[in-house]
């Protein structure tokens, strides 16, 4: 088993992993790795933009610098 395969199995076994993310991981394992990487990179960029828009212009990076963004309250 390769490191990438082992990491995929670890993510699939994680009880905190949402069901829809598990479906994406399972599908990505069956596709060409370069194609999967390109699509998932684009998906990640889109999801980050969507989250930023939901945060009303504040980026995830900005929120991580706030005290409560580091697990402090």
Q: What is the pLDDT of residues 19-38, one digit of tens each?
A: 999 999 999 999 999 999 99
* CA angle in degrees (0–180, nearest 5) for 28-29-32: 75
pLDDT at res. 28:
93
- Alpha-carbon radius of gyration of the chain: 15
Domain boundaries, the chain: 1-30, 32-73
Higher pLDDT, 48 or 16: 16
pTM to 2 decimal places: 0.65
Q: Quote the longest CA-to-CA distance of the chain.
A: 44
Distance between CA 51 and CA 46 in Å, rounded?
Answer: 9
Q: What is the DSSP letter of 68?
A: G
Contacts for 68 with CB less than 8 Å, ≥ 6 apart: none
Distance from C-alpha of 15 to C-alpha of 30, rounded to nearest angstrom? 22
pLDDT confidence tier of residue 65, bands split at 50, 70 and 90? low
């Amino acid at each position: 088993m390769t490191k990438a395969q082992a990491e995929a199995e670890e993510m699939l076994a994680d009880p905190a992993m949402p069901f829809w993310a598990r479906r994406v991981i399972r599908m990505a394992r069956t596709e060409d790795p370069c194609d999967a990487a390109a699509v998932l990179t684009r998906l990640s960029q889109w999801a980050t933009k969507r989250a930023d828009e939901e945060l009303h212009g504040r980026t995830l990076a900005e929120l991580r610098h706030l005290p409560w963004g580091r697990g402090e309250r």
